[in-house]
Amino acid sequence: MSAAPPSSRTHANAVMARLNGVQGLPTFLGAAPAGQTTPYAVIDFNSTVVPGSLADRWSQLDGYVAVRAIGTTAEQSMWAADRVRTLLLTDTVLGVAGRTSMPITQDTQTPTFRDDEVSPPLYVTTTVYRWITT
């Protein structure tokens, strides 16, 4: 009998715990609260499940964590992006109960840009990380 598919929520919570477990950069899931001071980071989590064996159709979760590093200056945004990269890629394998985790890897990063759609304008650097668990 196949187990239930892995939970995106528990994986996103593990990422949030890692990023919020170290002081210096407030991190939020989905959106920052109104009036949040910079710098800060916002994560969005997306995942797919990959079939394993016939006995366990949902054995692998391919997770993608998009992190938007926000600052009032380009330097703040880049600092926040570097802080997240350090927290996710250095000496850590995140854990989810009942799952075996691969180390997180960086997938892509966009150039830092000025977002003039908000007032005052903010600078954003978005980095996407990949995380596989089985």
Band the pLDDT of 52: cuts 50, 70, 90.
low
Q: Which two tokens stand for residue 112?
A: 């830092």
Q: What's the confidence (pLDDT) of residue 22? A: 67
**Which CATH number is 102's domain given?**
3.30.2000.30
In a domain, 3, yes or no: no
- Give dist(CA 70, CA 77) in Å, integer: 5
Mean pLDDT for 8-23 is 87
In a domain, 1, yes or no: no
Question: Residue 73 carries which DSSP code?
Answer: S
Q: How far is CA 111 from CA 37, 81, 129, in A?
A: 22, 11, 15
What value does the CA radius of gyration of the chain take, rounded to a whole number of Å? 16
Q: Which two tokens stand for residue 110?
A: 């966009």
Kindly state the percentage of the chain with pLDDT values over 70: 90
In a domain, 16, yes or no: yes
The length of the chain is: 134
Q: SS3 for 19?
A: helix
Output b/e per residue, 63-79; b: 16+ Cβ within 10 A. Answer: bebbbbbbbeeeebbbb
In a domain, 2, yes or no: no
Q: What's the confidence (pLDDT) of residue 7? A: 84
Cβ burial, residue 90 (10 Å; 0-12/13-18/19+): exposed
The boundaries of the domain holding residue 99 are 8-133
Give per-residue pLDDT as tens, 76-108: 999 999 999 999 998 778 888 888 899 999 999
To which residue do tokens 């929520």 refer?
9
Band the pLDDT of 5: cuts 50, 70, 90.
confident
In a domain, 27, yes or no: yes
In a domain, 94, yes or no: yes
Give the count of domains, the chain. 1
